Structure 1
Amino acid sequence: MQATLLSVLALALLGTLHAQDSIPVQADFQQDKLTGRWYSIGLASNSNWFKEKRHLMKMCTTIISSTAEGNLEVTSTYPKGDQCVTRNSLYSKTEQPGRFSYTSPRWGSKHNIHVVETNYDEYALVATQISKGTGSSTMVLLYSRTKELSPERLEMFTQFSREQGLADDEILILPRTDKCMADAA
């Protein structure tokens, strides 16, 4: 009986690990080319906060820079009401190039971040598995070097989000805004 229970637990753990590894990572990832200014064009998530705040969300700017240790410093500036809010995050590198981890000091959630696909000078598709306590959620971000992307790139984002199990009402092309865009350095 115990051996069966252990087998079931081991299979469940393997399934969880496999699920995390099923998100692809950019082949031959070149971190230095990912740095600089990006605009968040698309956001998809099955988290409760996304469902509650979806109608308020707008495009934002994100500045990515590398630290001396090889981690990523990610600074996002976004409109919230009539203010501009800036959030800083430090993504720690993992053994796999293009994959990072982050623990939110505010919420205690653990983020497993994958740079899925990028050509570095036009777009970047990033998928994150978020776990907190017993719950988990998926988030997909589409970044662009400009405030607009081709319909083909937007469709690629939508299709990839669906492949991650996200429904159409959990996928959002962020409304364009000029608010808070000049504040990002």
Structure 2
Amino acid sequence: MAATMTLGVLYLGLTLLGVLQSQAQDSTQKLIPAPSLFRVPLQLGFQKDQFQGRWYVVGLAGNAVQKEEQGHFTMYSTIYELQKDNSYNVTSILLRNQRCVYWIRTFVPSSRAGRFTLGNIHSYPQIQSYHVQVASTDYEQFAMVFFKKTSGNKQYFKITLYGRAKELPTELKQRFVHFAKSLGLTDDHIIFSVTTDQCIDN
């Protein structure tokens, strides 16, 4: 049982970091180039304390996301807890195989407010770099967060649309789509989640 749970958590971690080998192999010849962090908007005057709390993952877009294969995905939640050193303890809660699975990592602040790196990156030997940047948020309703990872000789990027509630207005979803396309992604790289009441409110 312990081994099964360990494998489950490992699989979950690989999935969320976007380093599944099958996905990487499928995308080897057609990865859209990852933009420089300087091309991605950064929320002005980022308020680290206001960003805390639970966010629901409403939408996902990325150069390794394929709508044709993944279609919709089950919504999960991510909780940001601000620590004394200004890093975030980040916990994602997912429903997998009818079980609640928790995955915890640390986002360490960078030189600019709203930009982070993955803490304890040496625990992920397949990853050379991992950046997180809050592109836009009003803290009370939505956030759009950009993730960029270098693994081997490939660069992966994704944008997550967070909501404080499980449903967001159509105009915010359209804004998310527009943002994703501004970074070179197409409709085939953009998916939205299916809501659930299981696990993700724990």
TM-score per shorter chain, which class?
0.7 to 0.9
Paired position in structure 1 for 2:198: 179
Structure-1 separation of matches of 2:100 and 2:137 = 28
For the pair 1:113 / 2:129, whether they are aligned, the reply is: no
C-alpha displacement of 1:161: 0.9
The CA distance in 2 between the partners of 1:80 and 1:44, in whole Å, is 21
User: What 5-or-longer segments of structure 1 have no aligned partner?
Assistant: 1-15
Cα distance per residue 1:12-71 (max 9 Å; x no partner) = xxxx9x822111110010100000111111111222xx4497347211111101111111
Q: Distance in 2 between matches of 1:128 and 1:74?
A: 14
Correspondence for 1:161 among 148, 158, 180 = 180
Query: Residue in 2 aligned with 1:13?
Result: none
Residue 165 of structure 2 aligns to a residue whose secondary structure is coil
**1:11 matched to which residue of 2?**
none
Superposition deviation, residue 181 in structure 1: 2.3
Instruction: For residue 108 of structure 1, report the CA deviation from its aligned partner.
Output: 3.2
Residue 141 of structure 2 corresponds to 122
Helix, strand or coil at the partner of 1:26: coil
Q: Which residue is 2:102 aligned to?
A: 86
CA, structure 1 residues 104+74, in 2 after alignment: closer, same or farther (shift >3 Å)? farther
Structure 2 distance, partners of 1:36, 1:72, is 10
2:75 is matched with which residue? 59
* Larger radius of gyration between Structure 1 and Structure 2: 1
Q: Which moved more, 1:66-75 or 1:100-109?
A: 100-109
Matched residue, 2:167? 148
Q: Is the CA contact (8 Å cut-off) linking 2:132 and 2:147 kept in structure 1?
A: yes
Structure 2: state its 5+ residue gaps. Answer: 1-32
Cα 1:106–1:147 change in 2 (3 A) is: same
For residue 112 of structure 1, what is the amino acid of its counterpart?
H
The DSSP-based 3-state class of the residue aligned with 1:160 is helix
> Is the 2:81–2:88 contact (alpha carbons within 8 Å) kept by the matching residues of 1?
yes
The one-letter amino acid paired with 1:164 is L
CA RMSD, Structure 1 to Structure 2 (Å): 2.0
Q: SS state of the match for residue 32, structure 1?
A: coil
Partners of 2:143 and 2:53 in 1: how far apart? 12
State yes or no: 1:35 paired with 2:60: no
Compared CA separation, residues 112 and 67, structure 1 to 2 (3 A)? same
Q: 1:136 aligns with which of 155, 158, 163?
A: 155
Relative to the length of structure 2, the TM-score reads 0.76
Distance 2:192 2:146 in 1: 15
Partners of 2:143 and 2:123 lie apart in 1 by 25
SS at match of 2:188: helix
